[in-house]
Chains A and B, each alone.
Chain A
Amino acid sequence: DVKVTQSSRYLVKRTGEKVFLECVQDMDHENMFWYRQDPGLGLRLIYFSYDVKMKEKGDIPEGYSVSREKKERFSLILESASTNQTSMYLCASSPRGGYEKLFFGSGTQLSVL
């Protein structure tokens, strides 16, 4: 089974801190994604990557950056955390070629105080 592992289930940070959310997948998937889930807004795409060292902006990239130095790892970075970035963050991966389902991690609930 595909496993997508997010490093933390719960995280509490202070406003202005730099925050790293890590995601690792073990199925050699080319595509990786970061979403955030908020009540009433569903899942919104922050950034995605189709290959090592490449990245594409999703629908809500402001305030975030990403890093993909290795195929299996996709990191989401909050350069200066703000309270409106309190959310559930979900990492997902899928094989290249498309028209395949996304496999999600368990999520990281981030609270910014």
Chain B
Amino acid sequence: DQQVKQNSPSLSVQEGRISILNCDYTNSMFDYFLWYKKYPAEGPTFLISISSIKDKNEDGRFTVFLNKSAKHLSLHIVPSQPGDSAVYFCAASHTGNQFYFGTGTSLTVIP
């Protein structure tokens, strides 16, 4: 059973606007969350993380929000750029060692 879900397989956004990618999880024991970005034929690269003691973490254009009561996290990209076009995966862990990944959201930023 999928413990981490990304219900939007794809998202298109105009360059310069905000991209919001969503992720839901079912396991209340998860206490560490990450976002990865993946280009075709490459391995995923780490973007940003957040621990359950926080509700927001920001790194440049990327901000992750965590709503523990709703078991929901989101990644905001502002402003979106064409180079952000990729597949984004969220991941969660309750041990800090084993990670459960979502199914991914393919983001297209339109110039």
Contacts and interface: CB of A to CB of B under 8 A. Distances in A.
A43 interface: yes
Interface residues of A, number: 29
Contact of B104 (A42, A48, A103): A42
Contacts, number: 65
A97 B97 CA distance: 8
B45 interface: yes
Contacts of A48: 97-98
Contact of A101 (B43, B49, B95, B103): B49
A47 to B, nearest CB: 11
B98 A106 contact: no
Nearest to B47: A101
A4 interface: yes
B41 A45 contact: no
Given A98-B95, A98-B96, A99-B51, A43 B101 contact: yes
A102 B97 CA distance: 9
Nearest to A4: B43
Interface residues of B, number: 28
Given A99-B96, A102-B46, A42 B41 contact: no
A9 interface: yes
Given A42-B102, A42-B104, A102-B46, A94 B97 contact: yes
26 contacts: A33-B99, A40-B103, A42-B4, A42-B89, A42-B101, A42-B104, A43-B44, A43-B101, A45-B98, A45-B99, A45-B100, A48-B97, A48-B98, A90-B43, A92-B43, A98-B32, A99-B51, A100-B96, A102-B44, A102-B46, A102-B91, A104-B43, A104-B44, A104-B45, A106-B42, A107-B41
Interface of A: 4, 9, 31, 33, 35, 40-45, 48, 50, 58, 90, 92, 94, 97-107, 109
